[in-house]
Amino acid sequence: MRVEINLNGKPFAADVEPRMLLSDFIRHEACLTGTHVGCEQGGCGACTIQVDGRAVRSCLLFAIQVDGSTVRTVEALSDERDGALHPLQEAFRECHGLQCGFCTPGFLMSLEPALASGPLDDEQAIRDAISGNICRCTGYAGIVDAVRHASNTIWNDPDIGTVDDLGSLGEDAPRSGAGDE
Amino acid sequence: MSEMIPRLVGQRVKRVEDPRLLTGRGEYVDDVHLPRMLHVALLRSSVAHARIVGIDTAAAAELPGVHLVVTADDLRDRVQPIVCDILPPGAWQTSAYPILADGKVRFVGEPVVAVVADSRYVAEDALEAIGVSYEELPPVMTVTAAEAGPETQVHEAWDEAWFTHKQLRVGDIDRVFAEAAGVTRRSVEVGRHTGMPLETRAIIADYNPSSNALTVHMTTQMPHIMRTGLADHLGMPEHQIRVISKDVGGGFGVKAELYPEDILVSHLATRLGRPVSWVEDRREHLLGTIHAREHFYELEAAWDESGRILAVRAEIRVDGGAYSVYPYSASMEPGMAMGVLTGMYDVPVYHADSWAIATNKTPLGPYRGVARPSACFAMERLMDAVAHDTGIDPLELRRRNLVRADQMPHTTPSGLEYDSGDFEATFRKAAEILDYDATREQQEELRGEGRYLGIGVGSYVEQTAHGAAEFVKRGLPVIFGYDTSRIRIDASGNVLVHPTSHSHGQGHETTIAQVVADALGIEIERIRVVYGDTQDVAYGSGTLGSRSMVMAGGAAHLAAVELRDRLVRIAAHNLEVDPGDLEVADGEVRVKGSPATAVAITEIARWAHHRPERIPSDLEPTLEVTSSYGAPPGTGAFSHAVHMALVEVDPALGTVQVLRYVVAEDCGRIVNPMIVDGQVTGGVAQGLGGALLEEIVHDAEGQPLTTSLLDYLWPTAHDVPFVEIGHLESLSPFTIGGIKGMGEGGAIAPGAVIAGAVEDAMRPLGGGFVRKVPLTPERVLNLLNVDPTGRVPESHEENQK
Ligand code: FES
Ligand code: FES
CB B447 within 8 A of CB B648: no
The pLDDT tens digits for B110-132 are 999 999 999 999 999 999 999 99
User: Cα(B399)–Cα(B241) distance, rounded to whole angstroms?
Assistant: 54
Write the single-letter amino acid at B218: M
A82 touching B (Cβ < 8 Å):
no
Residues 6 or more apart whose Cβ sits within 8 Å of residue A81: none
Q: Which residues of B touch A31 (CB under 8 A)?
A: 33
**Burial readout B577-587 (b: 16 or more C-beta within 10 A, e: otherwise):** eeeeebbbbbb
**A110 reaches B (C-beta below 8 A):** no
CA distances from A138 to B647, B683, B715, B716 (A): 21, 8, 11, 11
**Residue whose CA is at the smallest distance from ligand 2 atom 4:** A135
Q: Give one DSSP letter per residue of B138-185, joined into a string.
A: ----SHHHHHT--SS-SSTT-SSSEEEEEEEEES-HHHHHHH-SEEEE
**B674: alpha, beta or left? (left if phi > 0; alpha if psi -120 to 50):** alpha
Any B CB within 8 A of A171 CB: yes
Atom of ligand 1 nearest to the CA of A48: 2
* A100–B197 CB contact, under 8 Å: yes
Answer yes or no: are the C-beta atoms of B649 and B761 closer than 8 Å.
Answer: yes
B495-516, pLDDT tens digit by residue?
999 999 999 999 999 999 999 9
Sketch the domain layout of chain B as residue ranges. 18-26+482-629, 32-137+197-251+255-288, 370-468+635-799
**Is it true that B32-137+197-251+255-288 and B370-468+635-799 share their CATH fold?**
no
Selected for mutation to probe chain A from B18, B20, B657 (highest A CB count within 10 Å) is: B18
For residue B499, list its beta bridge partners: B485
pLDDT over 80 at A35, yes or no: yes
On whether any CB of chain B is under 8 Å from the CB of A137, the answer is yes
Per the CB < 8 Å rule, is A75 touching B24?
yes
Question: What is each CA distance from B418 to B312, B337, B371, in whole angstroms?
Answer: 19, 16, 18
Place B800 in a pLDDT band, splitting at 50, 70 and 90: very low
Contact (Cβ atoms closer than 8 angstroms) between residue A46 and residue A117:
no
Domain B18-26+482-629 grouped into CATH 3.30.365.10:
yes
Residue B474 has pLDDT above 80, yes or no: no
**Which of A36, A74, A103 maximizes ligand 2 atoms within 8 Å of its Cβ, making it the mutation to test the pocket?**
A103
Of A29-33, A172-176, B211-215, B388-392, the poorest mean pLDDT is in: A172-176
Residues 585-604 of B with CB under 8 A from A: none
CATH topology of domain B32-137+197-251+255-288: Aldehyde Oxidoreductase; domain 3 (3.90.1170)
Which one, of B643, B741, B653, B734, lies nearest residue B687 by Cα? B643
How confident is the model at residue B794, as a pLDDT? 61
What's the CA-to-centroid distance between A110 and ligand 1, angstroms?
13
Report the gap between the CA of B405 and the closest CA in chain A (Å).
25
Task: Note the pLDDT of residue B708.
Answer: 94
Residues 267-326 of B with CB under 8 A from A: 281-283
pLDDT, residue A123, reads 96
Pick the range with the lowest mean pLDDT from A157-166, B276-285, B340-349.
Answer: A157-166
Chain mean pLDDT for chain B? 95
Residue B687 has pLDDT above 50, yes or no: yes
Strands B38-44 and B276-279: parallel
- Predicted pLDDT of residue B641: 97
Rounded CA separation B479/B547 (Å): 13
Mean pLDDT of A147-166: 71
Average pLDDT over residues B148-174: 93
- Residue B552: which of B731, B733, B739 has the closest Cα? B739
Quote the minimal CA–CA distance from A164 to chain B in Å.
12
CB atoms closer than 10 angstroms to residue B700? 10
Per-residue pLDDT at A111: 98
Q: How confident is the model at residue B732 (pLDDT cuts 50, 70, 90)?
A: confident
User: Over 60: is that where the pLDDT of A110 sits?
Assistant: yes
Residue B171 to residue B771: CA distance in whole angstroms:
28
Phi/psi of residue B149, nearest 5 degrees: 80, 80
User: How much of chain A, in percent, has pLDDT values that exceed 90?
Assistant: 86
For atom 3 of ligand 1, which residue has the closest CA? Answer: A42
Given a contact cutoff of 8 angstroms between Cβ atoms, the answer to whether B453 and B693 are in contact is no
> Of chain B residues 386-415, which have a CB less than 8 A from chain A?
none
What's the burial of B596, exposed, middle or buried (CB within 10 Å: 0-12/13-18/19+)? exposed
Instruction: Please report how the helices B423-434 and B436-448 are oriented relative to each other, as an axis angle in degrees rounded to 10.
Output: 40
For residue B746, give the 3-state DSSP assignment: helix
- Confirm or reject contact between B249 and chain A (CB < 8 A): yes
CA atoms of B617 and B79, how far apart (whole Å): 52
Q: B3 or A7, which is more confident? A: A7
Put simply, whether B681 touches A (Cβ < 8 Å) is: yes
Residue A179 has pLDDT above 80, yes or no: no
Per the omega criterion (within 30 degrees of 0), is the bond before A158 cis? no
Residues of B in contact with A140 (CB under 8 A): 685, 717, 720
Q: pLDDT-derived band of residue B391, with 50, 70 and 90 as boundaries?
A: very high
Q: CA A101 to CA B200: how far, in whole Å?
A: 14
Please tell me the predicted confidence (pLDDT) of residue B790: 81
- Residue B309 exposure: Cα atoms within 13 Å on the Cβ side: 33
A82-99: average pLDDT: 97
Residue ranges of chain A that CATH labels 1.10.150.120: 87-163
CA distance A100 to B743: 13
Q: Which residues pair with B487 in a beta bridge?
A: B497, B625
Q: Which of A75, A67, A72, A73 is nearest to A15 (CA)?
A: A67
ipTM, interface predicted TM-score of the complex: 0.96
Give B263's strand partners: none
B790 CB neighbour count, 10 Å cutoff: 18
Over residues B418-422, the mean pLDDT reads 90
Give me the pLDDT at residue A177, please: 37
Spatial CA neighbour of A145 closest among A94, A100, A106: A94
Cα–Cα distance for residue pair B54/B333, rounded to 1 Å: 36
Quote the pLDDT of residue B795: 55
Burial B268-289 (b: 16+ CB within 10 A, else e): bbbbbebbbbbbbbbbbbbbbb
B709 inside 8 A of chain A by CB? yes
Residues near ligand 1 (Cβ within 6 A): A 37-40, 42-47, 57, 59
Which tens digits make up the pLDDT trace of B331-349? 999 999 999 999 999 999 9
Q: What is the distance in A from the centroid of ligand 1 to the CA of A58?
A: 7
Which range among B133-142, B593-602, B732-741 shows the weakest confidence by mean pLDDT? B732-741
> Count of alpha carbons within 13 Å of B688, Cβ hemisphere only?
35
B211 interface with A at CB cutoff 8 Å: no
Q: Is A135 in the pocket of ligand 2 (CB under 6 A)?
A: yes
pLDDT: which is higher, B792 or B689? B689
A38 and B30: CB-CB below 8 Å?
A: no
> Residue B256: is its pLDDT beyond 70?
yes
**Strand, coil or helix: what is B775?**
coil
Query: Which SS3 state, helix, strand or coil, does residue B363 take?
Result: coil
Which one-letter DSSP state was computed for residue B16?
T
Q: Nearest CB to B22: which of A93, A138, A169?
A: A93
- CATH number for A2-76 (one of 3.40.50.1000, 3.40.50.10800, 3.30.70.3040, 3.10.20.30): it is 3.10.20.30
B609 has a pLDDT exceeding 50: yes
- Of B217, B321, B316, B233, the C-alpha closest to B276 is B217
Phi first, then psi: give them for residue B89, nearest 5 degrees.
Answer: -85, 180
For residues B306-344, b (16+ Cβ closer than 10 Å) or e, as one string? ebbbbbbbbbbbbbbbbbbbbbbbbbbbbbbbbbbbbbb
pLDDT of residue B651: 94
- Give B-chain residues touching A176 at CB under 8 angstroms: 722
- State whether B717 and A89 contact (CB < 8 Å): no
**A chain contacts of residue B281, beta-carbon cutoff 8 Å:** 39-40
What's the average model confidence in pLDDT over B405-427? 93
Q: Domain A87-163 belongs to what topology?
A: DNA polymerase; domain 1 (1.10.150)
According to DSSP, the residues that pair with B54 across neighbouring strands are B133
Task: Name chain A contacts of B718, Cβ cutoff 8 Å.
Answer: 127-128, 131
Mean pLDDT of chain A: 90
Q: How far is CA B150 from the centre of its chain?
A: 32
pLDDT at B466: 84
Q: How far is CA B775 from CA A71, B656, B693, in A?
A: 42, 8, 7
Q: Would an 8 Å CB–CB cutoff place A49 in contact with chain B?
A: no
Is the CB of residue A44 less than 8 Å away from at least one CB of chain B? yes
> φ and ψ at B353, to 5 degrees?
-125, 140
| Sequence-ordered list of residues with C-beta below 8 angstroms from that of B750, at least 6 positions apart, any chain | B373, B458, B643, B645, B661, B684, B687, B688, B690, B691
CATH T-level assignment (fold) for domain B370-468+635-799: Aldehyde Oxidoreductase; domain 4 (3.30.365)
Fill in the amino acid letter for B146: A
Q: Do A140 and B505 touch (CB under 8 A)?
A: no
pLDDT digits (tens, 9 = 90+) for B175-193: 999 999 999 999 999 999 9
**Residue to mutate (ligand 1; options A39, A56, A135, A136; most atoms within 8 A of CB):** A39
Residues B364-385 have a mean pLDDT of 97
- pLDDT, residue A157, reads 60
Characterise A40 by phi-psi region: left (phi > 0), alpha (psi -120 to 50), beta (else).
left
Q: B403 by DSSP, 3-state: which? A: coil
With cut-offs at 50, 70 and 90, classify the pLDDT of residue A180.
Answer: very low
> In whole angstroms, what separates CA B788 from the centre of its chain?
34
Query: First CA to last CA across chain B, in angstroms?
Result: 72
What secondary structure letter does DSSP report for B82? B
Asked if pLDDT for residue A175 goes beyond 80, the answer is no
C-alpha distance from B752 to closest chain A C-alpha (Å):
18
Rounded Cα distance between B679 and A141, Å, is 11
**Which of B25, B199, B722 lies nearest to residue A102, judging by beta carbons?**
B199
For residue B284, pLDDT beyond 80: yes
| B601-617 mean pLDDT | 97
Establish if A111 touches chain B: CB-CB under 8 angstroms.
no
Yes or no: say if B512 and B8 are a contact pair by the CB < 8 Å rule. Answer: no
For residues A102 and B31, give the distance between their C-alpha atoms in angstroms, rounded to a whole number.
12
